[in-house]
Structure 1
Amino acid sequence: MADVVQGRSPRTGDPVGDPLPASTPADLDRAVAAARAAAPAWGALTGPERADVLDAIADALDAARAELVAVADAETALGEARLTGEVGRTSGQLRMFAGLLRDGAHVDAVLSPADPAIGRPDVRRMLHPIGVVAVFSASNFPFAFSVAGGDTASAWAAGCPVVVKAHEAHPATSAAVARVVRTALLGAGVSEDVLGLVAGRAAGGPLVAHPGIAAVGFTGSLAGGRALYDLATRRPDPIPFFGELGSVNPVVVLPGAADERADEIARGYVGSLTLGTGQFCTNPGLLFVPEHAKLLDGITEHARAATGGAMLSERIRDTYAHETAGRADREIARGTAADDAWAVAPVVWHATLAEFTANAAELTGETFGPAGLVVTYTDEDALVDALAAVPGSLTGSVHATEADHPLAARVAATLRPRVGRLVHNGWPTGVAVCWAMHHGGPWPATTAPAHTSVGGTALRRWLVPTAYQDWPDALLPAELRDANPLGVPRVVQP
């Protein structure tokens, strides 16, 4: 493994921040062993007790916001406003899970009382922590999908310690967040080893393969995620791998919406496409629009006027440049790149529906960055048929008027099995952190479409059921005892 992981400024390409020592195999063993040692006490806390700890971590992150934002901006060039909001989203996720823990429904308690008449024993079921979770930080969210981000917060809420692999694009930010969190854990009377941190690209595979790891949360590239997913399933003891890998997020504009809101849709599309320099997993990579001169001209005009900022790493910038060059023959609009060292220009490509259908495998690949394909259609039946070629995505969006509703229903019915979230008259970028959110989807969007990495049910990834048959009340978990001392919601079979 390399000696250190050094952050670099996307604005200049120069080293910034303190380097983070790359983890050796011995470092990895120590981090996992410490997390396993912390697991029994952490998992034994009641939901309200863990909730208090999550609130303490959230308060600590908010208190350190200015320091954390300064470090992250130097490493990511995402800007003070975006990063300040992201710290708030991160602390907000922790508080959301604290609320779920106090409600108690997350344990999914179910009671089937004994029924001698049919020979049924007394069976009581609930969910328990799976064990130590490995979390891979994402490049594009140095706070919200990183050391104390959604995967980590949900695992903590489930009662699982976490070992995080820091992302190479923001090592100093990762170390700073870890220091804040570990101090908050100690202040709350909890072992600081509820959070472990390892670093270095070479640490990823060994972390997934480590026998002390019980499950993995990953956000990143399709190639990298697939390699780690395969490693997790090939272990002597295969473990769950919850990966968010790639998504083209189709958006379908129907004729009535194009007639009524052409300029608004054109502006909204380019704004969504270029938001954060297109470095979002919910970026609208595929846009289906009717043959509508005003709408297509508007998209072209707004795209040419757009300026792309810096990508998060030199490698991401180089990949974007290679992939956009490969589709130069389809390019209809190119914006400009800012002056930053790793800045890129937004790009829009075009294909007819017939061309899309004939070349779907090529044209449905994700490009990470501010680039998207506009597909024009004239035949509504052919549009619905073509949507069946769209790969699994996190989102599917439909722009429609009331007059479009019959076609919108058909489009939604085709998209629904292919996406995790359906958006009406909106854009996919921006994921609300709330109990009902589902941020997942069929392969290749994720490796586990039944689960989400954002929202209240995200903690179910890290819980496993146990059924207790004919156990004495005094030996049952508090959530399953007759008196229900914690007052958790329960389902009782008649």
Structure 2
Amino acid sequence: MMLQSNITELDTFVANAVDGHKYLQKLSRHDRAELMYTIASHIEALGEELILTAQEETNLPQARLNGEKARTIHQWRLYADVTASGVLLDARIDNGEGKNDIRKYNVGLGPVVVFGASNFPFAFSTAGGDTASAIGAGCSVIYKEHSAHPRTSRIMAKAIYDALQAFGAPNSVFGYISGSSHEVGQTLVAHPNVKAVAFTGSYQGGMALFKIGANRPEPIPVFAEMGSLNPVIALPAYVIANKENFAKEYIASLTLGCGQFCTNPGLLFLVKNEDSEHLKQFLKEELAAVSVNHMLHAGIRKSYDAAIQLLNATKEATVVGQSSADSEFPSAIVYTVSAEDFVANKQLQEEVFGPCGIIVECDSINQMEETIATLGGQLTITFAATKDDVQANSSLIELVKDKCGRLLFNGMPTGVEVVYAMQHGGIFPSSTDSRFTSVGPDAMKRFLRPISFQNWPDDLLPVELQNANSTQIERIENNKRILP
């Protein structure tokens, strides 16, 4: 069910999605998981055309695209496994001490609008984690094509439609809208039969959709991931012992994928001293040796170049080092600013989407803590630290916990694993709801709601809430955890 951007046809399109949601709600969770396995297999069967088309549209290397394809297939199969297990139903039964027999579990919200991301043409786009988690939750999907890779998206969409046909499911489970019209996207979010939205992109785009969702007659959740500075906080004892290796790790992470990751480490906090000066020299040497690739598309390159021009014109920012640049490839670059100037100049606190980092030099740990306290919420914050560093700076650690969704001890934040424990969502403004993740099986929780059944005859209850527990799911019964 594909639609060229056409406002007049949206009512019919969304009505089909309502039918698709009803279909998924009637499927057993095992059948829904089987549908997801089928979609994964059809994506896996896509051959060279997918990779070459994506490479042409995004400038991403084939190795990266093959890895991302494998991640996408893994997401569908993992989320299918979790769907089949029933663990996200959160089944609860209370029929002991209370006067009433009350039972509760989770059901899908309804049709979900998914907006694709520019930087992940597979894993965060047509058949990406948002689509997989919505279908896993029992919600139909309306996907709004991203203008950065339309041909890639349509290849993926065809794989989904082929899988639906092979399974025997209606096309209404997944709807695809092509074209770059912002009006269509806004109208979808405002449509009364749409029940949730998933978005990955800019702060401006995410907040525009969030406000539409919040101001509807029936407000709906808009789960928007909107970017992050992902600070790295390098503490003194660690810097003394790891200057050269840390410089290699930081520049490798900063330039990975030409810096076009939402977890790109755009800020580096240091205590200014002789060791930090040595570290900056190592960073300069790494930058001089690094090579960067094409950016995803001309629009992103234009925005990056404009941001670098602004930073170059900012008197408070001094260039530490940069890679070579020409008209074809951007330059990876690192600046340094004082903590005072960083706090005073809000432009320095804006995300630069690309291989650009800013070192914030602090006179002391106290000043570092005061400076970090002014930051908004982040997807990730990383401590480059020894255990002694951490133990000596407990108040800084506690401050940082309230600023991010994922807190790292050494290493770098780029590289988001698709596992249960992953939290890919942060404090506002990095995302609109810090309680949820867009990566890992818990991403399905975004599209679920609880419903209680009170005093219903056992044989009329959903099978997962019946006394026999014939489908063998984990439940909490009268305050006791019951395993299958």
TM-score range, shorter chain: over 0.9
Q: CA deviation at 1:493?
A: 2.1
Paired residue for 2:460? 475
- Structure 1 residue corresponding to 2:285, chosen from 301, 308, 316: 301
SS of corresponding position for 1:479: helix
CA contact (8 A) 2:271 2:368 kept: no
For the Cα contact (< 8 Å) 1:232–1:239, is it kept in 2?
yes
- Residue among 386, 398, 403 paired with 2:388: 403
Counterpart-to-counterpart distance in 2, 1:65 and 1:382: 54
The separation in 1 between residues aligned to 2:325 and 2:21, in whole angstroms, is 48
User: CA–CA distance in 1 between the matches of 2:393 and 2:445?
Assistant: 32
**Alpha-carbon distance change, 74 to 206 in structure 1, aligned in 2, over 3 angstroms:** same
Matched residue, 1:179: 158
Equivalent residue for 2:263?
A: 282
Q: Distance in 1 between matches of 2:265 and 2:455?
A: 53
Alignment of 1:6-405 (within 5 A): 22-115=4-97, 120-202=99-181, 203-291=184-272, 292-328=276-312, 329=315, 330=317, 331-337=319-325, 340=328, 343-359=329-345, 361-405=346-390
Structure 2 residue matching 1:438: 3-state secondary structure: coil
Query: Deviations along 1:110-135, whole A, 9 cap, x unmatched?
Result: 111153xxx53111111101000000
- Partners of 2:87 and 2:35 in 1: CA distance: 19
C-alpha distance in 2 between matches for 1:443 and 1:466: 29
Query: How many Å separate the matches in 1 of 2:389 and 2:89?
Result: 43
SS at match of 2:295: coil
Instruction: String of CA shifts for 1:423-469, please: whole Å, max 9, x gaps.
Output: 11110111000011110011111011101100121000000111111
SS in 1 for 2:407: strand
User: Comparing 321-330 with 165-174, which one deviates more in the overlay?
Assistant: 321-330
For normalisation by structure 1, the TM-score amounts to 0.92
For the Cα contact (< 8 Å) 1:207–1:213, is it kept in 2?
yes
Which residue type is aligned with residue 162 of structure 2?
A: T
Corresponding residue number in structure 2 for 1:422: 407
Contact 2:243 2:282 in 1 (8 A): yes
> Partner letter of residue 61 of structure 1?
I
In the superposition, relative to structure 1, how do residues 450 and 344 fare at CA in structure 2: closer, same or farther (>3 Å)?
same
- Note if contact 1:309-1:338 (Cα within 8 Å) is conserved in structure 2: no
- Which whole-Å deviations, capped at 9, do the CAs of 1:285-308 have from their partners, x for residues lacking one? 111123322211111221233333
Query: Separation in 2 of the partners of 1:213 and 1:445?
Result: 24
Gaps of at least 5 residues in structure 1 are 1-19
Letter aligned with residue 374 of structure 2: A
Q: Which amino acid aligns with 1:335?
A: S
Counterpart contact for 1:70–1:80, Cα < 8 Å: yes
Partner AA of 2:173 in structure 1? V
The structural deviation recorded for 1:344 is 1.5
SS in 2 for 1:373: strand
Deviations 1:330-379 (A, max 9, x none): 23322223664xx32112111122322333x3322111111111112231
- Give distance in 2, aligned partners of 1:195 and 1:338: 43
User: Which residue in the other structure is 1:13 paired with?
Assistant: none
Q: How far does residue 65 in structure 1 lie from its aligned partner after superposition? A: 4.0
- Separation (CA, whole Å) in 2 of partners of 1:391 and 1:274: 23
Partners of 1:259 and 1:325 in 2: CA distance? 33
Q: Secondary structure at the match of 1:54?
A: helix
Q: Deviations over 1:214-241 (max 9, x none)?
A: 1000001111111111111111221110
Identity %: 39
CA distance in 1, matches of 2:294, 2:176: 27
Distance 1:21 1:335, change over 3 A: farther
Aligned length: 469
CA distance, structure 2, for counterparts of residue 293 and residue 348 of structure 1: 14
Looking at structure 2, the residues matched to 487 and 377 of structure 1 have their Cα atoms a distance apart, in angstroms, of 56
**Closer, same or farther: CA 47–407 of 1 in aligned 2, 3 Å:** farther
Classify the secondary structure of the residue corresponding to 2:459: helix
Structure 2 residues not aligned, in runs of 5+:
480-484
Which deviates the most, 291-300 or 390-399? 291-300
Whether the 8 Å contact between 1:258 and 1:290 is mirrored in structure 2 is no
- 1:287 and 1:293 map into 2 onto residues whose CA distance is 13
Provide the secondary structure at the position in 1 that maps to 2:220.
coil
Deviations 1:161-216 (A, max 9, x none): 10100100000001000001110111012122211110223221112112221100
CA distance in 2 between counterparts of 1:389 and 1:372 reads 18
Normalising by structure 2, report the TM-score.
0.94
Query: Contact 2:263/2:414 (CA < 8 Å) preserved in 1?
Result: yes
The answer to whether the 8 A contact 1:439-1:452 is kept is yes
CA contact (8 A) 1:254 1:408 kept: no
Contact 2:390 2:397 in 1 (8 A): no
Aligned 8 A contact 1:38 1:193 in 2? yes
Q: Aligned equivalents of 1:492 and 1:337: distance in 2?
A: 64
Q: Would the aligned equivalents of 2:109 and 2:195 in 1 still touch at CA under 8 Å? A: yes
* Matched AA of 1:307: S
Aligned with 1:332: secondary structure? strand
Alignment check: 8 A CA contact 2:231 2:380 kept:
yes
Deviations 1:273-331 (A, max 9, x none): 11111111001011112332221111122123333322222221111111111111423
Q: Is contact 1:310-1:338 (8 Å) kept? A: no
Structure 1 residue identity aligned to 2:122:
F
The letter for the 1-side match of 2:371 is A
Structure 1 equivalent of residue 421 of structure 2? 436
Retained in 2: the 8 A contact 1:286–1:374?
yes
Structure 2: distance between partners of 1:250 and 1:443: 15
Residue pair 1:250, 1:390 contacting (<8 A) in 2 also: no
The structure-2 alpha-carbon separation of the partners of 1:68 and 1:409, relative to structure 1 and needing over 3 Å to count, comes to: farther
Shift of 1:139: 0.3
CA–CA distance in structure 2, aligned partners of residues 21 and 307 of structure 1: 41
